[in-house]
Amino acid sequence: MSRELCMGNQALALGALKAGINVAAGYPGTPSSEILETLDVQVKARGLTALHVEWSTNEKAALELGFGASLAGARALVTMKQVGLNVASDALMTLPYLGVKGGLVLVVADDPGPISSQTEQDTRQFAGFAKVPVLDPSTPEEAHRMIQSAFDLSEWHATPVIVRPSTRICHGAVGLDTSYDYVPHAVSGFERDPRWVIFPRRTYEGHLELLSRLSAIAADFSASPYNALINTHATAPAHQGIVAGGISYAYLHDALLQLDDLASLRLFKCGTPFPFPQTLALQFLEGLREILVFEELEPVLEREFLQLIGRHQLKVKVFGKLSGHANLAGENSVSLIARQVEALYGDNGFAPPLDVTPQTSTGSGSNPAAVAPDLPARAPVLCAGCPHRASFYAVKQALKGRPAVFSGDIGCYTLGNALPLDMVDSCVCMGAGFTVPQGMQWAQPDVLHLGFVGDSTFFASGLTGVVNAVYNQAQVTLCVLDNATTAMTGSQPHPGTGIRLGTHRAAQESTDVAGGESGTNAEGAADGEDAMGAGGATSAADTKGALDIPAVLRALGVRHVAQVDPFDLKAAQEAVREAVSHSGVSAVVFKAPCITVAPPQTRRGVDPGLCSACHKCIREIGCPALIVTSEKKARIDQALCYGCTLCAQLCPTHAIQPLQAAKGGGAA
């Protein structure tokens, strides 16, 4: 047995392989992306030609494709982050009415905090809304087992099933036996049946079917190994219990290790929040007078208990989010749960709560000798050499002094919002960067309206917005920030690159294009591939089948389409001026690769003799490689500079010059 350090996402991928999946599809989204990347690595390393893995254009496409595979009798895995489920929801809402044939499992990763998401929505709640069973792992190893069970469950009950890990499960790691046999599920083939076609009559029948299916699953869940009643043999006082689901169970478990007298508490670990295992819950409630519920995001378990207790007219008080005894938003933690348990049940002789102030370093009395200094805030920024910085700067300069609104979208380029660029005025969701400016323009036509969408986002959700603008003749300029990858989620390929996952992908194992010492600002420092490697970096090697963005825009009816290299500052500014002067829909494609998929260019350095200390470079573009020396001159951090030339192009005294060695070490 080989025990490797495995991220939850890798554990999920290995579990899916053990389940013999035939098809896997998804759209990148933190924290879910490494699942498909791990499958991709395994398919190539082990030559698993029977398994099709793909990045689909968006989550809706991935889920529908997964359903198609299931109809053919295959086992299909579909992965996404929580907001991706919003995109896929059109299909998801209907699937339980139709049912499935081969196992269809969605992994939908939630992001309490949130750590990198636009909402704190709860997939358990979405699952209840869509009437799809959901499994909620408390550790990566449990996620590994759950995904295997999920395929069986899906086939036994002919329903899609959701596994819902949260960020700390996805990106938490544990030593795991990584050996597996991949035995592809036997594909039985499609059989025609009227029940695969949704019609109002079928919907009514399907509705009744799925409700009775859910009761059967709820009964099964009461005996599920993912649920547990713990310490039921406790002696007095046996009237207090605690419920925890998902990662909150892990936190509760550890909190109780710190607190004395845990034997007097009865615990209910819930790994199957929907359909709720009522029988088991009633068993848990026997003899209890108070329960405290821990879960992240929505009070899903808490509401189930309130309902159950109401229906059975039990005398049990329920404490949790709704009563103000647990966190309403954000993540839980061991310390928080320890404090909250103590606050409610503390008169039972628990140890006093830990004195915890995790977010601030001042006070707390632990260091009477000194007061912690104020620390500089460290907001995320665009990488040194990021092409988005150049694109935003070109637009900003081109339209200086003219009233304009810049609508942004989801991706690294949302960071264009930060000073000094300050070029993202709104950001809602995938694709909105092209549609929000249209609405604004109809309301406020005397202002220039530009929308910014990344290349991956363009294909995922931008196309309909382009069609809408053309059809309705909106006066907008659509900017595509084409950096040849899906950067923010870890450099996944997309339709514009032509690079595909799995065995379809051309042989180009050297995904580390940058090579050498290049590293990237995004955690590339002397980094290595671990054995389970989740290295899905794109390469420019194989571009067969790549969709050409300007051609797509033209085909969709955009009359004025320009493509420029944003690092050619003059040309880029000219292209922007020309585009906004065009009547009707115009488009500018800013094309230059992300630093995670392109090698560094000749690094730049500042000639201190020529630098007039005007700080224009620092003030205007905010490249993290640009710093100020003690002599107030600009200096370039050679470990960070990617040689993009942007700063050199705006330096009034031409003090910024190329350094001789392009590919040498990072020595200053």
Interactions with ligand SF4, residue window 628-657 (CB under 6 A): 636, 641-647
User: Do 162 and 93 form a contact (C-beta atoms < 8 A)?
Assistant: no
Of 596, 598, 651, 655, which lies in the binding site for ligand SF4, with binding defined by CB under 6 A? 596
Sheet strand arrangement including 228-230: 228-230, 266-270, 240-245, 290-294, 317-319
Rounded-to-integer distance, Cα 407 and Cα 432, Å: 8
Nearer CB in complex with other proteins: 103/490? 490
Rounded-to-integer distance, Cα 332 and Cα 346, Å: 19
Nearer CB in complex with other proteins: 512/548? 512
Which partner, other proteins, ligand SF4, none, binds residue 31 by CB below 5 to 8 Å per kind?
Answer: other proteins
Rounded-to-integer distance, Cα 325 and Cα 278, Å: 23
The answer to the question of residue 626 lying near ligand SF4 (CB under 6 A) is yes
SS3 155: helix
Cβ of residue 174: shortest distance to other proteins, in angstroms?
5
Which partner, ligand SF4, other proteins, none, binds residue 642 by CB below 5 to 8 Å per kind?
Answer: ligand SF4
The answer to the question of residue 373 lying near other proteins (CB under 8 A) is yes
Nearer CB in complex with other proteins: 316/621? 621
Interactions with other proteins, residue window 252-281 (CB under 8 A): 253-254, 256-257, 262, 269
Nearer CB in complex with other proteins: 255/564? 255
Which partner, other proteins, ligand SF4, none, binds residue 604 by CB below 5 to 8 Å per kind?
Answer: ligand SF4
Q: CA torsion sign, 257 to 258 to 264 to 268?
A: negative
Interactions with other proteins, residue window 107-136 (CB under 8 A): 115-116
DSSP conformation letters of 434-484: HHHHHHHHHH-TTSEEEEEEEHHHIIIIIHHHHHHHHHHT---EEEEEE-S
Nearer CB in complex with other proteins: 80/262? 262
Nearer CB in complex with other proteins: 150/640? 640
User: Do 623 and 415 form a contact (C-beta atoms < 8 A)?
Assistant: no
Which partner, other proteins, ligand SF4, none, binds residue 636 by CB below 5 to 8 Å per kind?
Answer: ligand SF4
Q: Return the amino acid letter for 457.
A: T
Of 370, 443, 609, 660, which lies in the binding site for other proteins, with binding defined by CB under 8 A? 370
Query: Cα 237 from chain centroid?
Result: 44
CA geometry: angle at 362 spanning 356 and 363, to 5°? 70
Which partner, ligand SF4, other proteins, none, binds residue 526 by CB below 5 to 8 Å per kind?
Answer: other proteins
Nearer CB in complex with other proteins: 241/490? 490
Cβ of residue 475: shortest distance to other proteins, in angstroms?
32
For residues 257-293, b (16+ Cβ closer than 10 Å) or e, as one string?
A: ebbeebebbbbbbbbbbbbbbbebbeebbeebeebbb
Fill in the per-residue mask, 304 to 333: x = in contact with other proteins (CB under 8 A), - = not in contact: -----------------------------x
Q: Return the amino acid letter for 437.
A: P
DSSP conformation letters of 15-49: HHHHTT-SEEEE---TTTTHHHHHHHHHHHHHT-T
Interactions with ligand SF4, residue window 471-500 (CB under 6 A): 483, 487-488
Which partner, other proteins, ligand SF4, none, binds residue 483 by CB below 5 to 8 Å per kind?
Answer: ligand SF4
Interactions with ligand SF4, residue window 405-444 (CB under 6 A): 412
Interactions with other proteins, residue window 169-198 (CB under 8 A): 171-175
Cβ of residue 205: shortest distance to ligand SF4, in angstroms?
49
Of 24, 51, 83, 250, which lies in the binding site for other proteins, with binding defined by CB under 8 A? 250
Of 108, 383, 404, 474, which lies in the binding site for ligand SF4, with binding defined by CB under 6 A? 383
Q: Which contiguous run of DSSP H or E holds residue 280?
A: helix 278-285
Fill in the per-residue mask, 203 to 242: x = in contact with other proteins (CB under 8 A), - = not in contact: ----------------------x--x-xx-----------
Query: Cα 159 from chain centroid?
Result: 25
Rounded-to-integer distance, Cα 386 and Cα 454, Å: 13
The full length of the chain comes to: 668
Rounded-to-integer distance, Cα 88 and Cα 412, Å: 23
* Window of 87-95, 413-421, 550-558, 561-569 that interacts with other proteins by CB under 8 A: 413-421
Which partner, ligand SF4, other proteins, none, binds residue 83 by CB below 5 to 8 Å per kind?
Answer: none
Fill in the per-residue mask, 190 to 229: x = in contact with ligand SF4 (CB under 6 A), - = not in contact: ----------------------------------------
The answer to the question of residue 622 lying near ligand SF4 (CB under 6 A) is no
Q: Which is nearest to 579 in space by CA: 485, 477, 466, 511?
A: 477
Sheet strand arrangement including 23-26: 52-55, 23-26, 76-81, 104-109, 161-163, 134-135
Which partner, other proteins, ligand SF4, none, binds residue 1 by CB below 5 to 8 Å per kind?
Answer: none
Which partner, other proteins, ligand SF4, none, binds residue 360 by CB below 5 to 8 Å per kind?
Answer: other proteins
Q: Which contiguous run of DSSP H or E holds residue 124?
A: helix 123-130
Interactions with other proteins, residue window 625-654 (CB under 8 A): 626-628, 632, 639-640
Of 326, 594, 598, 651, which lies in the binding site for ligand SF4, with binding defined by CB under 6 A? 594
The answer to the question of residue 396 lying near ligand SF4 (CB under 6 A) is no
Q: Which is nearest to 35 in space by CA: 65, 68, 80, 2?
A: 80
Of 197, 208, 236, 375, which lies in the binding site for other proteins, with binding defined by CB under 8 A? 375
DSSP conformation letters of 188-248: ------GGGS--HHHHHHHHHHHHHHHHHHHHHHTT-TT-EEE-TT--S-TTEEEEEETHH
Nearer CB in complex with other proteins: 544/632? 632
* Window of 217-225, 254-262, 304-312, 621-629 that interacts with ligand SF4 by CB under 6 A: 621-629
Phi, psi (rounded to 5 degrees) for 36: -70, -35
In DSSP terms, 477 is beta-bridged to 450, 586
Rounded-to-integer distance, Cα 344 and Cα 509, Å: 56
Q: CA torsion sign, 187 to 188 to 192 to 197?
A: negative
Cβ atoms within 10 Å of 301's Cβ, excluding its own:
28
From residue 21, alpha-carbon distances to 114, 143, 222, 280 in Å are 31, 16, 27, 31
Nearer CB in complex with ligand SF4: 91/651? 651
Cβ of residue 95: shortest distance to other proteins, in angstroms?
29
Interactions with other proteins, residue window 423-482 (CB under 8 A): none
The answer to the question of residue 251 lying near other proteins (CB under 8 A) is yes
Note the residues at the interface with ligand SF4 (CB under 6 A): 382-386, 388, 412, 483, 487-488, 521-522, 594-596, 604, 623, 625-626, 636, 641-647
